[in-house]
């Protein structure tokens, strides 16, 4: 475990809740004259412990220094944007990490997050987001992929209708990607903003986040590996150089895809 992991554990011991998870609410959306429901937890800046956010920011600084200078669409990105995007990704993984611990009641020593364990922030092929490790010696750890994204639509209902959970992507710089056991989506929405986050709007992320202008949506249904193989579609999501494998939310609206129900079926 690295210094950020040790700091994270120290915060867990010191504070009762590093994230106050609001109660889930059911979101109804329509697709092809059918109604679907996905439960979502909504979070804002006020839900997070300040020292936890400092931990997330410090990890983001380290990762930004090692990040490629080009995004998935092969566009060059500056240092501040790299830090912001790393922060959003690290915070998303932190949300899932603490949800597994606080809500799913998984002991903290069975949850491994690579950013807290890694010895170096140089890229390594064995990187992962989160693993759930079992006490059973003949069972490998379960891998969890956490994908963060921006909601470009008016509301979360439109996002759930038109988007899905990203299981994997490939482009000219990333020829293949292994599909993980569980894939989870975390969605950022800037109040009164429609469209992608670009330029000045993206640059002032931290200001807007601290002023509670961002809502973070956490759909608590996930895509399993078999879902990614059997229920997915391929799309470029508007990025011509990248192909994404996504599972539409309408395909995983059944309660069996709720994270708590998935976790209860695993041997941990």
Given CA atoms 44, 72, 253, 154 in this order, what sign does their dihedral have?
Answer: positive
Give the separation between CA 198 and CA 77, rounded to whole angstroms.
11
Residues 8-44 pLDDT 10s:
999 999 988 999 999 999 999 999 889 999 999 999 9
Q: Sort 203 into a burial class: Cβ within 10 Å, 0-12 / 13-18 / 19+.
A: middle
What count of other Cβ atoms lies within 10 Å of the Cβ of residue 83? Answer: 19
**Best CA proximity match to 251, nearest among 228, 226, 231, 266:** 231
Residues 172-213 pLDDT 10s:
666 567 899 999 999 999 999 999 998 999 999 999 999 999
pTM: 0.93
| Helix (H) / strand (E) containing 187 | strand 182-190
């Amino acid at each position: 475990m690295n210094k950020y992991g040790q700091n994270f554990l120290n915060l867990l011991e010191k504070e009762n809740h590093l994230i106050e998870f609001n109660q889930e609410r059911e979101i109804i959306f329509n697709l092809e004259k059918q109604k679907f429901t996905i439960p979502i937890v909504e979070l804002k800046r006020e839900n997070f412990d300040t020292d936890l956010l400092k931990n997330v920011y410090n990890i983001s600084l380290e990762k930004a220094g090692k990040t490629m200078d080009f995004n998935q669409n092969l566009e060059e990105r500056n240092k501040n944007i790299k830090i912001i995007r790393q922060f959003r990704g690290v915070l998303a993984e932190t949300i899932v990490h603490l949800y597994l611990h606080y809500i799913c009641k998984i002991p903290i020593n069975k949850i491994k997050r690579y950013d807290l364990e890694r010895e170096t922030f140089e890229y390594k092929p064995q990187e992962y987001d989160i693993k759930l490790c079992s006490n059973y010696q003949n069972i490998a750890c379960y891998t969890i992929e956490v994908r963060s994204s921006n909601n470009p639509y008016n509301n979360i209902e439109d996002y759930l209708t038109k988007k899905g959970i990203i299981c994997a992507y490939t482009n000219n710089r990333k020829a293949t990607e292994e599909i993980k056991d569980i894939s989870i989506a975390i969605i950022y929405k800037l109040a009164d903003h429609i469209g992608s986050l670009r330029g000045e709007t993206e640059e002032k992320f931290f200001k807007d986040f601290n002023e509670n202008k961002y809502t973070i949506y956490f759909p608590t249904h996930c895509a399993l590996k078999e879902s990614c193989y059997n229920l997915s579609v391929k799309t470029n999501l508007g990025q011509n150089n990248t192909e994404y494998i996504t599972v539409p939310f309408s395909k995983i609206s059944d309660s069996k895809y709720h994270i708590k129900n998935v976790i209860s079926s695993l041997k941990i």
